């Protein structure tokens, strides 16, 4: 096996608990990374995938230690190597690209200098050669005008560009193995697609082996040749990308793939029950036993071993994989279609709303000058009907959360009006709002770790709206709290828990319970599933849909994930730079012809299918400010007409499918252009 560059043998890494028990984070991991191969490691948070990636560099986090096994890089065991020797391998032979490049670049050093540092460390080149190499590297990662770029500071680059610089630095030492730890998480969809495409190019161009760690099956599908699926510190499935994503023979992978919402099959995906067991809690049997649909008694008491199946070139850790071998892939697409009772009854009317973050200067205030700066969000007109789910979609900086905050009253609007229930104008100022309106509009936040007070029990958290709006006390209050918790599938048992004692999904359920306790008419959901694992995301989406059907609540759902939006929404509004681009019923928005920006977004969505490649239409640029005049998308539009786009705000047109598109290009023309490509 001369082509293998890294062999991991029976690796077990763990820690000693406070009670002196040895607990394993990784259990008997054995795998081989071959030359030129890209291996994707997938798993939910806590599955041990990052620990494994770090072990591949010979690094074990503080507090953890190697219990048994070895990690051989060209037949040297990295885990027993001295630091001095490891220094010669790290960067030169094995390089790592971190998740957040913005945080891993030194903020006060120029990009060129930082790459030069890496070159000095890892190569023996002279100054002039290094300078040439810097330009070469920046060119390789496709950063425009490398000489200028090298003179910039990290904060002058966009997130995608920073990630490219991180790739360039990793390539500085010409490594044989590149480890990537969630390199595209946190990037916008279009940027993500561009970075993945770059990584693919580099893998082919340099022949470097890559290990790509991610929770995102969509990203994994685009870059990997082989996929390793991890669960609870074990490899449960290991095989070629196609066979794993198209015909997963482990029930966990099967469930995981089913719980991902897909553009091609609208509707809510199936969710998996339960959550990954905490390290050290499983003693005997299969670690997936509790969540498995196929489980039988045998699975409870015997741990399955990783079994190699010759036909499929795949290893699987399951007793019952044979039942899944013959399941056709179409079964993965079974979804519950949503069917909302939308009444033709307007509940929220957002008209001509503009919001500006710019603060008026003190002198202007004195002179009573009217603030004429370019507002962050401009001219938003949306009507929302009772019982509807409206989604606001766009990349970061598109103003979707800003709009949500003004509806909640947390941010003052500069212009325009928000009317509730036909004729009741919602005050601009939170303090002036009628408590009844405050109750009617509730918020659910992205990250439950931040939205739940860490020093409150679940009981205290859920009791707040009940006490505030309904003045409940004593037994009546407690009864009501239990009732609300049961609605979100949490029992009485959770009352005395603190948020830190709950899993991510449970925390988000508590946040949902708190919002529903107020008996609201409208719930504003701000990226409610983006901090959750895929299997949990599906469960929360299903829960939100069920609650909506029970209570007839209206949702305004903000997300950057087009597939999630497709799954849950009735109507979609696409935003760019705080301006509406397109709005309409979701099935229509997701069909071409559509606004060029929607087209770009849809093209960049990553499906967990290696055969569906993203279409990269527009340049990967990030604009800081909305343009002063003309179309908001003029800077990146692949179909720009010319001066008209730069000077005039485009008109609304009704698209072929009944969606409204704001573009200078006629719908017929759009259709022609988009069908050609």
Partner 1 sequence: MTLEKEQKKNNLQKVYEVIKTMASKPSGLIGLSILLFHVILAITSPLYVPYDYKAIDPSLMLQAPSSEYWFGTDSLGRDVFTRTILGGRTALTVTFFGSLIALLWGGALGIFCGLVGGKIDDVVMRIIDAFLSIPWILAMLLIVSLLGTTTLVLIPALGFFYGKGIVRVARAATHDVIAKDFIVSARARGHSNLSIIWNEILPNVRDAIMVEGAMRWSWMLLGFSSLSFLGFGVSPPTPDWGLMISNARGLMSFAYWAVLAPIFGLSSLIIGINLTADAFAKALGIDRSTKAPV
What's 558-621 look like in SS3? Answer: EECCHHHHHHHCCEEEEEECCEEEEEEEHHHHCCCCCCHHHHHHHHHCCCCCCCCCCCCCCCCC
Q: Kindly tell me which of 467 and 646 has the beta carbon lying closer to partner 1.
A: 467
Q: CB of 281: closest distance to partner 1 in angstroms?
A: 7
- From the CB of 401, what's the least distance to partner 1, in Å? 11
Nearer to partner 1, 153 or 437 (CB): 437
Task: Give me the DSSP letters along 113-146.
Answer: HHHHHHHHHH----HHHHHHHHHHHHHHTT-SSH
| Rg (the chain; Cα; Å) | 26
Q: Which residues contact 658 (CB under 8 A, 6 or more apart)?
A: 584, 585, 588
- CB of residue 405 to partner 1, shortest distance in Å: 8
Which CB atom, from 536 or from 572, has the smaller least distance to partner 1?
536
Task: Give φ, ψ of 71 to 5 degrees.
Answer: -130, 100
- Selected range binding partner 1 among 240-248, 393-401, 451-459, 541-549, rule: CB under 8 A: 451-459
* Burial class of residue 244 (count of CB atoms within 10 Å of its CB; 0-12, 13-18, 19+): buried
What residue ranges in 199-240 does DSSP mark as E strands? 209-214, 226-231, 234-240
82: left (phi over 0), alpha (psi -120 to 50) or beta: beta
The binder of partner 1 chosen from 390, 452, 534, 618 (CB under 8 A): 452
Q: Work out whether 457 is an interface residue with partner 1 (CB under 8 A).
A: yes
User: Taking contact as CB under 8 A, which single stretch among the options 177-185, 413-421, 444-452, 601-609 is the one that binds partner 1?
Assistant: 444-452
Interaction between residue 532 and partner 1 (CB under 8 A)? no
Residue-wise DSSP of 336-360: BPP-----S-EEEEEEEEEE--PPP
**Residue 556 interacting with partner 1 (CB under 8 A):** no
Which alpha helices (H) appear in 501-579, and where do they start and end?
A: 504-517, 534-551, 562-568
Stretch that binds partner 1, among 313-321, 408-416, 591-599, 656-664 (CB under 8 A): 408-416
435 touches partner 1 by CB under 8 A:
yes
CB-side neighbour CA atoms (13 Å) of 69: 23
Contact flag: residue 489 with partner 1 (CB under 8 A): no
Q: Is 551 in the site for partner 1 (CB under 8 A)?
A: no
- Contact between 447 and partner 1 by CB under 8 A: the answer reads yes
Using CB under 8 A as the binding rule, whether residue 358 contacts partner 1 is answered as no
**Cα separation, 529 vs 118, whole angstroms:** 38
Binder of partner 1 out of 79, 438, 525, 565 (CB under 8 A): 438
Residue in 339, 496, 647, 677 binding partner 1, rule: CB under 8 A: 496
Does 451 bind partner 1 (CB under 8 A)? Our answer is yes
Q: Applying CB under 8 A, does 522 fall inside the site for partner 1? A: no
Tell me how many residues contact partner 1 (CB under 8 A).
Answer: 35
Q: What is the dihedral of CA 364, 369, 374, 379, to 10 degrees?
A: 140
Q: Does residue 523 touch partner 1 according to CB under 8 A?
A: no
End-to-end, the C-alpha distance of the chain in Å comes to 44
Binding to partner 1 by CB under 8 A, coded x per residue (else -) over 599-618, reads: --------------------
User: Considering the rule CB under 8 A, would residue 455 count as an interface residue with partner 1?
Assistant: yes
Please report, as ranges, the residues that interact with partner 1 according to CB under 8 A. Answer: 278, 281, 408-410, 430, 433, 435, 438-439, 441-443, 445-447, 450-457, 460, 464-465, 468, 496-498, 501-502, 514, 518
């Amino acid at each position: 096996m001369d082509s293998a560059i890294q062999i991991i043998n029976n690796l077990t890494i763990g820690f000693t608990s406070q009670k002196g028990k040895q607990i394993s984070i990784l259990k008997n991991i054995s795998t081989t990374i071959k030359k030129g191969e890209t291996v994707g490691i997938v798993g939910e948070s806590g599955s041990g995938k990052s620990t494994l990636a770090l072990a591949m560099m010979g690094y074990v986090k503080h507090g953890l230690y190697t219990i048994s096994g070895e990690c051989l890089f060209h037949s040297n065991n990295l885990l027993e190597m001295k630091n001095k020797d490891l220094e010669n391998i790290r960067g030169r032979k094995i390089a790592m690209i971190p998740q957040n490049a913005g945080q891993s670049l030194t903020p006060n050093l120029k990009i060129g200098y930082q790459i030069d540092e890496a070159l000095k460390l890892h190569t023996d080149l002279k100054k002039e050669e290094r300078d040439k190499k810097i330009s070469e590297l920046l060119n390789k990662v496709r950063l425009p005008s490398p000489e200028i770029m090298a003179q910039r500071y990290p904060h002058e680059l966009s997130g995608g560009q920073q990630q490219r610089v991180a790739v360039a630095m990793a390539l500085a030492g010409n490594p044989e193995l590149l480890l990537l730890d969630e390199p595209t998480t946190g990037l916008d969809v279009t940027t993500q697609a561009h970075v993945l495409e770059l990584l693919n190019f580099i893998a082919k161009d340099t022949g470097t082996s890559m290990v790509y760690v991610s929770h995102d099956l969509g990203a994994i599908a685009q870059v990997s040749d082989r996929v390793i699926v991890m669960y609870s510190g074990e490899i449960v499935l290991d095989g070629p990308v196609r066979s794993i994503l198209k015909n997963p023979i482990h029930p966990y992978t099967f469930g995981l793939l089913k719980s991902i919402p897909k553009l091609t099959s609208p509707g809510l995906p199936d969710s998996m029950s339960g959550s990954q067991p905490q390290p050290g809690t499983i003693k005997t049997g299969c670690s997936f036993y509790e969540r498995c649909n196929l489980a039988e008694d045998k699975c409870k008491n015997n741990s399955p071993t990783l079994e190699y199946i010759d036909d499929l070139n795949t290893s699987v850790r399951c007793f019952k994989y044979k039942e899944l071998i013959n399941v056709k892939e179409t079964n993965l697409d079974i979804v519950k279609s949503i069917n909302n009772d939308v009444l033709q009854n307007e509940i929220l009317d957002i008209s001509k709303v503009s919001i500006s973050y710019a603060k008026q200067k003190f002198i202007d205030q004195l002179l009573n000058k009217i603030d004429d700066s370019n507002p962050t969000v401009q001219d938003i007109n949306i009507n929302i009907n009772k019982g509807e789910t409206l989604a606001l979609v766009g990349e970061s900086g598109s103003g979707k959360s800003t709009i949500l905050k003004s509806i909640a009253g947390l941010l003052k609007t500069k212009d325009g009006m928000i009317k509730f229930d036909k004729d009741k104008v919602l005050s601009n100022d939170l303090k002036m709002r009628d408590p009844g309106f405050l109750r009617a509009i509730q918020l659910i936040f992205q990250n439950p770790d931040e939205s739940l007070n860490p020093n409150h029990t679940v009981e205290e958290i859920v009791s707040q709206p009940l006490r505030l709006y309904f003045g409940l006390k004593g037994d009546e209050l407690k009864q009501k709290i239990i009732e609300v918790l049961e609605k979100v599938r949490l029992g009485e048992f959770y009352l005395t828990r603190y948020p830190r004692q709950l899993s991510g999904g449970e925390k988000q359920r508590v946040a949902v319970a708190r919002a529903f306790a107020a008996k609201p008419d409208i719930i504003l959901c701000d990226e409610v599933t983006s901090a959750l694992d895929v299997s949990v995301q599906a469960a929360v989406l299903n829960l939100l849909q069920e609650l909506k059907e029970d209570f007839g609540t209206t949702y305004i759902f903000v997300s950057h994930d087009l597939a999630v939006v497709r799954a849950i929404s009735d109507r979609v509004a696409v935003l760019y730079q705080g301006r509406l681009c397109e709005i309409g019923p979701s099935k229509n928005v997701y069909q071409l012809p559509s606004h060029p920006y929607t087209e770009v977004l849809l093209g960049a969505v990553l499906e967990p299918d290696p055969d569906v490649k993203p279409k990269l239409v527009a340049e990967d640029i990030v604009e800081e400010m909305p343009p002063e005049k003309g179309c908001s998308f003029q800077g990146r539009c692949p179909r720009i007409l010319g001066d008209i786009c730069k000077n005039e705000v485009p008109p609304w047109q009704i698209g072929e499918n009944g969606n409204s598109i704001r573009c200078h290009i006629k719908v017929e023309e759009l259709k022609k252009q988009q069908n050609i490509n």
